[in-house]
Structures are given as structure tokens and as C-alpha cells.
Chain A
Amino acid sequence: NAGVTQTPKFQVLKTGQSMTLQCAQDMNHNSMYWYRQDPGMGLRLIYYSASEGTTDKGEVPNGYNVSRLNKREFSLRLESAAPSQTSVYFCASSTSGNTIYFGEGSWLTVV
């Protein structure tokens, strides 16, 4: 049971570099999400996709773009990384927006 799989697990970027975080789920869920987790801030929603073909902004979308490639995959792109984007990123999925299943996280450091 893979559940929600994120890659890469760890990444170090230089300021201004770009990168894409990949996410795939094998639970046939309609909805997918990207959250970031920072100390003392909890989990903040960056973008979500309620269903295949749709994406919407969450609480903190600035500096990010997303692509819902198909029902299984939802990627997060940083076009020009900034130190403020140093964080742990979690991809998640759900059937109806209630029980959300999270991946194991991607640790990103921007220097």
C-alpha cells in the first residue's frame, strides 16, 4: 500500500533556482493538496485540486504553481526559490475533503 508518494524526500536549492515536487496517490482519490509545515505555524494549504482538471489557491499560494497532471498526480513547482520557502512540504489526498491522507513529506532548504 503506497498511499501518497512524494519525491524528492530532501532537496537543497540555491536562491533563484526552480524545482518541482512530485506527488502521486494510488487510492483513486478525487482531491489532492499541497501543504507546507513550518515551526509554530501548523500546516498551511498552498494549493488544492478538488477534482481532476481543477486547481485552486489555498492560504499561501504566492511563489508556487501546481499542475494536476491526471487523477493520480499533483505537482508543485517553485519557479524562483526564496529562503522563505524553506519548509517541509506535504502532499495529501482525499475522497471528499474529509479524511485527508498525507505523504511522508519533502524537506526543502533554500540557501
Chain B
Amino acid sequence: QQQVKQSPQSLIVQKGGIPIINCAYENTAFDYFPWYQQFPGKGPALLIAIRPDVSEKKEGRFTISFNKSAKQFSLHIMDSQPGDSATYFCAASGGDSSYKLIFGSGTRLLVRP
């Protein structure tokens, strides 16, 4: 049972483009929604996170949009760069799962020069 569904599986954009990665969750008790970035051969690292009391959060070129009623959230990368090429994971936690993050299946992003 996949509690966090992520799409697309892979994404290719040109430098300067705005890739968008989407996630949907099922558990209404979730109250913490982070995005992790993973480079090849490395462990995932926290990129940005949001809680359901706000609809949007920006950190640099990265923005999370959150739609509580639709149980969806998305990551937007403004002015994407080749260095942003990585795998991105959304995740969620809260309620009975407050101690553990449930991850989406990941999106492999390639930004072409």
C-alpha cells in the first residue's frame, strides 16, 4: 500500500526551465511534508519542507505548493540548472507515523545545458 504517490518517474528539462514534481498522499493525519534531493552515490538530503498551515513555501529557487483539500503537494524548481540534476523524493509523516517518514517512489530529473 503506497501512502505517498509521486510523479513523474523521470523528467528532462532544458536549463532555465521549471520542472514540477507532484505528490499525493492518503493519510489525513500527515502534517509534515519534506522534499529530499539525492545525488548518485550519496544519501538523500533534506531540500525543503512544509506543514499544512501554509499553502506555499519558497527557499531560493525551490518552492513547495501545498493543497490540503486535494491532499497534494508539489515541488517547483525555478531557473533550473544542470547541477540540479538528481533524484527527488517527496515524503510525509504525522499521526501514528510521526516518527517515520513515508517516501514517494522518486523522480529522476535531468537538466540539460
Contacts and interface: CB of A to CB of B under 8 A. Distances in A.
A104 B42 contact: yes
A45 B65 CA distance: 26
Contacts of A101: 45-46
**Chain B: interface secondary structure?**
loop
B45 A102 contact: yes
A103 B46 CA distance: 12
Contacts of A33: 100
Interface stretch (A12-20, A35-43, A62-70, A76-84): A35-43
A43 B49 contact: no
B6 A42 contact: yes
17 contacts: A4-B43, A33-B100, A35-B103, A40-B105, A42-B6, A45-B100, A45-B101, A48-B99, A90-B44, A97-B101, A99-B34, A99-B46, A100-B46, A101-B46, A102-B44, A104-B41, A105-B42
A72 interface: no
A105 B42 CA distance: 7
B105 A31 contact: no
Interface of A: 4, 31, 33, 35, 40-45, 48, 50, 56, 58-59, 90, 92, 97-105
Contacts, number: 57
A59 to B, nearest CB: 8
Contacts of B98: 97
Interface residues of B, number: 22
A31 to B, nearest CB: 6
Given A98-B49, A98-B93, A99-B49, A41 B105 contact: yes
Contact of B99 (A31, A99, A103, A104): A31
Contacts of A59: 102
Contacts of A104: 41-43
8 closest A-B pairs by beta carbon, nearest first, are A102-B43, A42-B105, A97-B99, A43-B103, A42-B103, A50-B99, A42-B106, A104-B43
B32 interface: yes
Nearest to A31: B99
A47 to B, nearest CB: 10
Contacts of B9: 40
